[in-house]
Structure 1
Amino acid sequence: MVHHESFQTVTGSINWDDPMYKLYEKAKKIGKWNPADIDFSQDVKDFQSLRDEERISALPLISAFSAGEEAVTLDILPMMHAMANQGRLEDTMYLTTFVHEEAKHTEMFSRWQEAVGIAHMDLSVFHTDSYKRIFYEALPESMNRLLTDDSPEAVIRAATVYNMVVEGILAESGYNAFREIFKKAGFFPGLLEGIDYLNMDEGRHIQFGIYTIQRLVAGNDEHYKIFNDYIDELWVHAKDFVNYLTQLSEQQEKLITYESKINIDPTLLKQFAERQYKIRKSKIDRVRKYDSVEELEKATQ
């Protein structure tokens, strides 16, 4: 049984300047949106106005996001457990908002699917082996390891799959695809409103992952290798799934012989995902020559 030996707020105070406390403050101020308040009435009309082939073109992204948001909601708690075990109060405080936000993201997609009439459909048909490797296997494996192992290696791997790959590469690429496809076409304003809220929330989530990995990697080549090897391993599966989505788009374009209301650039998702992968790696690579995140921050001010 683990016992507390002291409490930070009794022997001292919350560190108001801690990066994780600042994320907590942002979440309190910005993250007040309610999925139940989003109006999907126009989305229903838009969905009904589409032909079958056009409707189908929207489903793979919806499927990926809906399951993905549920997965990260179910799998986030071990990270809070690990930070609490380590006595990282500010991290734990921030993660309370993180959990709440992931639940709202799951709710938002479920409400949209119900509103447009596809809640009865089994969208898991779009989950490839590569998708399953990340969301069905690697994510819960790495996160649940934290329940019994909060070592630097375990935390790095958990933050890498969750924050850098699932959120930093795949989700960011998905947001961009939603906007490029549906915003340009003038469709699904409710869904796009929700996407904007998700994007703001997950920007904070990604910052948590970057900082968490940076503080463990700074001045430690062994820890950097753990991160670099694991993100490269996961990128193979992420890239395969992105290629699958691209191929589906190309197949749909061949089936549509009329002037479609929805125009999809088959290379869009692929190029954006590749860019996000390189950005995530660069965010961690830049701390390698410093002994701490604080040194990096001072040097780049």
Structure 2
Amino acid sequence: MATEYTPTEMMDRDSRSNRYYRNAVERHWDPGEIDLEQDVENLLTYIDGAEAYDQESWYGTLNGIAKFGAGEDAVTEDLAPLGAVLDTIDDQLFLTTQMYEEAKHADFFDRYWREVVWTVEDKLGWERSDPRHERWFNEPYIELFDRNRKAQFRLLEDDTPENRAKAYCHYHLTVEGILAQTGYYGMQTSYGGEFEDLPHLPGLVQGFTKIRSDEGRHVGFGMNQLKKLIAEGVDPELIQDTVDELVPLVQGITEDDRFQPDDPEERPGLEDGKLAAYAVEKHTDRMQQITDAAAEIPDVDELVALEGDD
């Protein structure tokens, strides 16, 4: 039986959720406006000048892009259950912007594959690669996103404070706060022009920069929700234990070296262990900010500034 309609309370303009919402509105960007032509030119020049570069090497270049593209599709599809159970107008306002932004992220990666990857492959006479081919996704990747989906849809059947905490731990804290932020940092650094043995991809880097700024808000929202749930009685150990169970899956994804040379000294880009250290640092800081009642969650401007990446 449907419940009787009750008008919602007015917005709380000073709440974190409302401030995150306003920040999202003010930072709007269009994935279709990012210039990708230079990426095509730079990739063709790089491939032409690289010794012993074949299609397997090309798969190594595409591996991270494919993982993040499919990941953005997944989080776009799996966020709706949370929107169905949130019960304040300010939280709902923010979540509408997050769902919109996740769709934009998926849009960007789809466009990149069509306009950059396939264009390069066409010019080289290679068969067009499939961004959803099973070659890109190892077992930890599939397991992490399966667990996230289950955690979100569980809310539709059993919406308890503990299950909400688990949903935020899976989605906002682990998939976005550890995996995505770490991966974007690695890709943005690798293809930002710093390394001579990797192509400079300015369009990809600009997309990463915009996406990571969005996800700073998403992570901050999840952290704030978890902090409120703890204040209302959810055991902090539930949050710690949930994330601890997921971190090995994150490590299995970020350390996926199936497309890398066997000799670590021959691997271009960030030195071994740099991504793992970055992930651990982010995880440690966020858990302390959530579980320590005296600790403050960074304000929205700090969250979207991509601090610590200099």
- Deviates most, 56-65 or 94-103: 56-65
1:90 corresponds to = 90
Q: Residue 77 of structure 1 aligns to which amino acid in structure 2?
A: A
Aligned partners of 1:47 and 1:55 also within 8 Å: no
Tell me if 1:79 matches 2:82. Answer: yes
* CA displacement 1:124-175 (0-9 Å, x = unmatched): 312111111111x101100011112221011101100100110000111111
1:26 corresponds to = 23
1:174 corresponds to = 183
Following superposition, the deviation at residue 196 of structure 1 comes to 0.6
Q: 2:4 & 2:208 partners in 1: Cα distance? A: 41
2:34 corresponds to = 38
Tell me if 1:134 matches 2:134. Answer: no
1:68 corresponds to = 71
Aligned partners of 1:168 and 1:206 also within 8 Å: yes
Following superposition, the deviation at residue 16 of structure 1 comes to 1.1
Q: 1:238 & 1:230 partners in 2: Cα distance? A: 13
- Deviates most, 227-236 or 98-107: 227-236
Q: Residue 34 of structure 1 aligns to which amino acid in structure 2?
A: D
Q: 1:254 to 1:172 in 2, by over 3 A?
A: same
2:269 corresponds to = 263
Correspondent of 1:283 among 289, 292, 298: 289
Correspondent of 1:210 among 180, 202, 223: 223
Give the secondary-structure state (helix, strand or coil) at the position aligned to 2:255.
helix
Correspondent of 1:251 among 246, 257, 262: 262
Tell me if 1:163 matches 2:172. Answer: yes
* RMSD between superposed Cα atoms in Å: 2.5
2:111 corresponds to = 111
Correspondent of 2:237 among 189, 207, 225: 225
Q: 1:191 & 1:252 partners in 2: Cα distance? A: 27
Give the secondary-structure state (helix, strand or coil) at the position aligned to 1:205.
helix
Q: 1:2 & 1:158 partners in 2: Cα distance? A: 26
2:308 corresponds to = none
- Deviates most, 277-286 or 45-54: 45-54
Aligned partners of 1:249 and 1:266 also within 8 Å: no
Q: 2:156 & 2:136 partners in 1: Cα distance? A: 31
Q: 1:254 to 1:248 in 2, by over 3 A?
A: farther
Q: Residue 97 of structure 1 aligns to which amino acid in structure 2?
A: T
- How many residues matched? 278
- Deviates most, 55-64 or 74-83: 55-64
Following superposition, the deviation at residue 219 of structure 1 comes to 6.2
Following superposition, the deviation at residue 267 of structure 1 comes to 2.1
Normalising by the residue count of structure 1, what TM-score does the alignment of the two structures yield?
Answer: 0.84
Q: Residue 59 of structure 1 aligns to which amino acid in structure 2?
A: L
2:253 corresponds to = 241
Correspondent of 1:200 among 213, 218, 232: 213
Q: 1:253 to 1:110 in 2, by over 3 A?
A: farther
1:259 corresponds to = none
Runs (5+) with no aligned partner, structure 1 = 257-261
Tell me if 1:188 matches 2:185. Answer: no
* CA displacement 1:229-270 (0-9 Å, x = unmatched): 11011112112222224x6445376778xxxxx534232222
Following superposition, the deviation at residue 78 of structure 1 comes to 0.6
Q: Residue 140 of structure 2 aligns to which amino acid in structure 1?
A: S
